[in-house]
Homo-oligomer: A and B are copies of this chain.
Amino acid sequence: MNQIRVLLVDDHPAFRAGLSALLKPVREIVIADEASTGEQALALVGGVQPDVVLMDLAMPGMGGVAATERLVRDHPHIRVLVLSMADDDDSVFAALRAGARGYVLKGARKAELVRSIVAVHGGEAIFGPAIASRLTGYFTGLARRERGFPELTAREREILILMSSHLTNPVIAERLGLSGKTVRNHVSSIFAKLHVADRAEAITRARESGF
């Protein structure tokens, strides 16, 4: 049976040792190598040829996010599974933007960790319970805002749509056969209903709501 070759990246030697001991008895996994910084990880991957990189985020020098970004860019077949203490939106979404295939908090039980490594190796994406909540919150949060979208009149919806393609008031007026002043007034009442102060926010809200 082909074992999954894992590269450990973490600046804390004790943690690497613990992780290594934890994963050693697992049949389907083998620790191919360890790195203590992002730079070192990037230097190693070419020779080590890991299937999965277990990446910490908080490291001196090049952080895990930057390392992940370069790693997935230069070695698209290698999957990155983030294993971090950081349980906040910024860290999670930065890792996702960088191309990580999974995100598990340090402190996860062994079974969860092994399952995550196997899943990521198989091309799946997997996120620990706390992270999963953030992820679904991200998407259902969008849906929730959509539900809360206030009711606009036909004219207002029409104008908001044109506004969302970044047309100016005079252009909108010309296209709808209205006076520029009328458009400005409609725009103003749209802002009031959306509880926003200017075009910028209005368009942001409209986009978020899949308008």
Contacts and interface: CB of A to CB of B under 8 A. Distances in A.
A85 interface: no
A124 interface: yes
A132 interface: yes
Copies in the complex: 2
Interface stretch (A39-47, A90-98, A176-184): A90-98
Given A204-B204, A210-B97, A127 B129 contact: no
A199 B69 CA distance: 30
Contact of A200 (B96, B146, B166): B166
Contact of A119 (B96, B115, B136, B140): B115
Contacts of A203: 200, 204
B143 A99 contact: yes
Interface in A114-139: 115-116, 118-119, 122-129, 131-133, 135-136, 139
Most buried by B among A69, A112, A140, A168: A140
Given A124-B128, A132-B125, A98 B140 contact: yes
A193 interface: no
Interface string A131-155: 1110110011011001000000000
A210 B203 CA distance: 17
Contacts of A87: none
